[in-house]
Amino acid sequence: MNSYSPAVVVREVGLRDGLQILPRTVPTEHKLGWLRAAHAAGLREIEVGSFVPARLMPQLADTALIVEAARKLPGLVTSVLVPNVKGAQAAIEAQADAMLLPLSASRAHSLANLRKTPDEVVEEIARIRSLRDATGSSCVLEVGLSTAFGCTIQGRVDEDEVIRLVKAVIDAGAERVGLADTVGYADPLQVERLFERCFAVAGDRLTCGHFHDTRGLGLANVYAAWRAGARRFDACVGGIGGCPHAPGASGNVATEDVAYLFASMGVATGLDFHALIALRDSLATRWLPGETLHGNIWRAGLPKTMKEAA
Amino acid sequence: MNSYSPAVVVREVGLRDGLQILPRTVPTEHKLGWLRAAHAAGLREIEVGSFVPARLMPQLADTALIVEAARKLPGLVTSVLVPNVKGAQAAIEAQADAMLLPLSASRAHSLANLRKTPDEVVEEIARIRSLRDATGSSCVLEVGLSTAFGCTIQGRVDEDEVIRLVKAVIDAGAERVGLADTVGYADPLQVERLFERCFAVAGDRLTCGHFHDTRGLGLANVYAAWRAGARRFDACVGGIGGCPHAPGASGNVATEDVAYLFASMGVATGLDFHALIALRDSLATRWLPGETLHGNIWRAGLPKTMKEAA
């Protein structure tokens, strides 16, 4: 789908994971400006919204419009979150390039959020795959295993259960799987271990790491997953997407920080650092004024060694 | 020197590295309260000050008094920074357990700061070792190689030069060597590589990693050094010690964050997390009011998984 092959792909999820917890609704025109700025900064995979019922998430009710605009941006993989078959149907109709279905590895979290067990969600994945194949769509089906490193409700999540679910979703037809730490519980040693174990069962279908910086370990966890072989990471410009129950706590790892991490190691991402910082400024001043942004590198700027290299 | 052997030692340097850049002078009584609280939180190596001329650093003019108090705390390794033979003489007279001499791996930084080349500093280290041995003191001589990962003046610092200097300071009589990234230029891949190379020449004399969180990679770098075999790390409660030229930028990695990182990985440090957070609060309200503190874990607190384990 992408003519340029960077060593690491950063998948921007701010328009979905960042916005879904905010009480405000960002006007469609603003989202389109944000989307275009993200694309201009070199981002080539963007999760632009979610096909959930508008009454549950009015902030994302314009997802079909955003997908339509995103599809016109050259070389962009347009991705949407879908919670179920109905959402998948909408994603296929909108001609999104990829759809991501979240699956809680924590049984307690799955029951509390969806009133479904993880295995019931696996059955939904199989139905989505059948629907996708029946329609002749090429929309890639990806599953994100949330709470893979621990859960605010259940606490510990057994690693064997994560491995079992990774196998189950692949058997059910998922083409890609990712591991997500949406609550900021992961530590880098655990990340290396679990990614290694998952690569052993999922091979190159394990493609994505999704880390939050809630407790300051976000970038250490990205590094640990990269060491284990992960080459694709979710992130949000400005580190938005924090937990609504922990005001002020950091959210997703910041796209500009992840870009800096890999640039500092000499690993190509295709991202334009200064354009990302400019996008962060636009979030602060135009599209999310008053919102607490996070991240680190924007404050100190690039080191002299990298300025010389650039 | 220490009866308890944790898997990782965190060396608190706030009373020296944190205070030396602040224009304010913290009263001796406050420093003593801070020192006692740090010891009570489980810290068993504390850099309590620096034997530099009081006219250059009036904030640290009471170092001899602090050393005297620190020596009475059970099981504490009392460490001081010394810039030269004269400082070493003072450290030996004060009966400090260890003295740390900084050496810039960057020639430009060394000349700008000390008007000495790195090799002239190596000669000073040899003189300090002779003095130490002649006095019969057991004060451990440690060298911290600053700007080992890059320099704000010189830019790139050649890794071969770092290796050469590590060998040179050991030949000159240093009993311990550490690698320091005081400017926040290091990346985790570089950290793993340089620590591995230094272990190959220094063996167990390479003992310490000193990282700043200036660009958000502090904890990733601690993890990378730990992966390469480092088991002793400098840190400051509240992440103080930022660069005076970059207001608001993070300073040293925060002691409480490093404690959390290792606790999350199941690696013992002997540190009391809640006592460290309480000490951070005391810095904010009593001993450094108005000062910008940093760090991450204080905001979100421990995850449920660790509360259950504790």
pLDDT given for residue B101 in this prediction: 98
| Residue B194, beta-bridge partner list | none
Q: Give the integer Cα–Cα distance in Å for B163 and B149.
A: 12
Q: Which two tokens stand for residue A57?
A: 């998430």
Per the CB < 8 A criterion, the answer to whether A223 and A258 are in contact is no
pLDDT at residue B1 greater than cutoff 50: no
Per the CB < 8 A criterion, the answer to whether B56 and B94 are in contact is no
The answer to whether the Cβ–Cβ distance between B297 and A215 falls below 8 Å is yes
Chain B: residues touching A (Cβ < 8 Å): 150-152, 155-156, 183-185, 187-190, 213-217, 219-220, 222-224, 246, 248-250, 257, 260-261, 264-266, 295-297, 299-300, 303-305, 308
Ranges of chain A with pLDDT below 50: 1-3
- pLDDT tens track for B146-186: 999 999 999 999 999 999 999 999 999 999 999 999 999 99
Q: Give the integer Cα–Cα distance in Å for A302 and B187.
A: 12
Q: Give the integer Cα–Cα distance in Å for A276 and A253.
A: 14
- pLDDT tens track for B3-58: 456 799 999 999 999 999 888 999 999 999 999 999 999 999 999 999 999 999 99
The answer to whether the Cβ–Cβ distance between B297 and A261 falls below 8 Å is no
B9-309 CATH: 3.20.20.70
ipTM given for this complex: 0.94
pLDDT given for residue B3 in this prediction: 42
Q: Give the integer Cα–Cα distance in Å for B271 and B257.
A: 11
Q: Give the integer Cα–Cα distance in Å for B173 and B105.
A: 17
Q: Which band of pLDDT confidence, cut at 50, 70 and 90, is reported for residue B84?
A: very high
pLDDT given for residue B248 in this prediction: 66
CA of B109 to nearest chain A CA: how many angstroms apart?
14
Q: Give the integer Cα–Cα distance in Å for B130 and B127.
A: 5
- Of the candidates A156, A216, A300, which has its C-beta nearest B257's C-beta? A216
CA of B205 to nearest chain A CA: how many angstroms apart?
25
> Which of A151, A183, A189 is most worth mutating to test chain B (most B CB atoms within 10 A of its CB)?
A189
* A104: phi then psi, degrees, rounded to nearest 5: -75, 125
Higher pLDDT, residue B246 or B98:
B98
pLDDT at residue B258 greater than cutoff 80: yes
| Chain A residues lying within 8 Å of B246, measured CB to CB | 299-300
| Chain A residues lying within 8 Å of B155, measured CB to CB | 304-305, 308
pLDDT at residue B2 greater than cutoff 50: no
Cβ–Cβ pairs < 8 A, chains A and B: 125
pLDDT given for residue A3 in this prediction: 42
How would you write chain B as a 3-class SS string? CCCCCCCCEEEECHHHHHCCCCCCCCCHHHHHHHHHHHHHCCCCEEEEEECCCCCCCHHHCCHHHHHHHHCCCCCCEEEEECCCHHHHHHHHHCCCCEEEEEEECCHHHHHHHHCCCHHHHHHHHHHHHHHHHHHCCCCEEEEEEECCCCECCCECCCHHHHHHHHHHHHHCCCCEEEEEECCCCCCHHHHHHHHHHHHHHHHHHEEEEEEECCCCCHHHHHHHHHHHCCCEEEEEHHHCCCCCCCCCCCCECEHHHHHHHHHHCCCCCCCCHHHHHHHHHHHHHHHCCCCCCCCCHHHHCCCHHHHHHC
Chain A: residues touching B (Cβ < 8 Å): 150-152, 155-156, 183-185, 187-190, 213-217, 219-220, 222-224, 246, 248-250, 257, 260-261, 264-266, 295-297, 299-300, 303-305, 308
Report, in angstroms and rounded to the nearest whole number, the Rg of chain B calculated over CA atoms.
18
- Of the candidates B248, B264, B305, which has its C-beta nearest A299's C-beta? B248
The answer to whether the Cβ–Cβ distance between B155 and A223 falls below 8 Å is no
- Closest by CA to B35, choosing from B101, B79, B83, B81, is B79
Q: Which two tokens stand for residue B209?
A: 């990693």
- Of the candidates B155, B217, B303, which has its C-beta nearest A305's C-beta? B155
| Chain B residues lying within 8 Å of A152, measured CB to CB | 303-304
Average pLDDT along chain A: 94
pLDDT given for residue B247 in this prediction: 61
- Does the annotation mark A236 as catalytic? no
The answer to whether the Cβ–Cβ distance between B190 and A261 falls below 8 Å is no
Task: Using CA coordinates, name the residue in chain B closest to A254.
Answer: B216
The answer to whether the Cβ–Cβ distance between B300 and A257 falls below 8 Å is no
Long-range contacts of B288-291 (CB under 8 A, 24+ apart): B288/B22, B288/B24, B288/B26, B288/B238, B288/B240, B291/B22, B291/B240
Q: A187 to each of A53, A194, A212, A223, A226, how far by Cα in Å?
A: 34, 11, 11, 11, 14
- Of the candidates B188, B303, B304, which has its C-beta nearest A223's C-beta? B188
Per the CB < 8 A criterion, the answer to whether A106 and A147 are in contact is yes
Q: Give the integer Cα–Cα distance in Å for B293 and B250.
A: 8
The answer to whether the Cβ–Cβ distance between B261 and A184 falls below 8 Å is no
- Of the candidates B184, B215, B305, which has its C-beta nearest A156's C-beta? B305
| Residue A103, beta-bridge partner list | A145
Q: Which two tokens stand for residue A162?
A: 């994560």
| Residue A78, beta-bridge partner list | A46
Judged by phi (left if over 0) then psi (alpha if -120 to 50, else beta), residue B210 lies in beta
Per the CB < 8 A criterion, the answer to whether A246 and A216 are in contact is no
Q: Give the integer Cα–Cα distance in Å for A122 and A118.
A: 6
